[in-house]
Chain A
Amino acid sequence: AQSVAQPEDQVNVAEGNPLTVKCTYSVSGNPYLFWYVQYPNRGLQFLLKYITGDNLVKGSYGFEAEFNKSQTSFHLKKPSALVSDSALYFCAVRDKVGTGGFKTIFGAGTRLFVKA
Chain B
Amino acid sequence: GAVVSQHPSRVICKSGTSVKIECRSLDFQATTMFWYRQFPKQSLMLMATSNEGSKATYEQGVEKDKFLINHASLTLSTLTVTSAHPEDSSFYICSARDSRSSGANVLTFGAGSRLTVL
Contact = CB atoms under 8 A, between A and B. Distances in A.
The secondary structure that dominates the A interface is: strand
Interface residues of A, number: 21
A94 interface: yes
Interface of B is mostly: strand
Interface stretch (A16-24, A68-76, A78-86, A101-109): A101-109
Nearest to B2: A46
Given A44-B93, A90-B43, A109-B43, A104 B109 contact: no
B42 A101 contact: no
Contact of A108 (B43, B46, B109): B43
Contacts of B36: 106
A49 B109 contact: no
B108 interface: yes
Interface string B22-65: 00000000001010100000111010010000000100000000
Contact of B34 (A32, A36, A46, A104): A104
20 contacts: A32-B105, A34-B107, A36-B107, A42-B111, A43-B4, A43-B109, A43-B110, A43-B112, A44-B44, A49-B105, A94-B105, A97-B57, A101-B49, A101-B57, A103-B49, A104-B95, A106-B44, A106-B46, A108-B42, A109-B43
Interface of A: 32, 34, 36, 42-46, 49, 51, 90, 94, 97, 101, 103-109
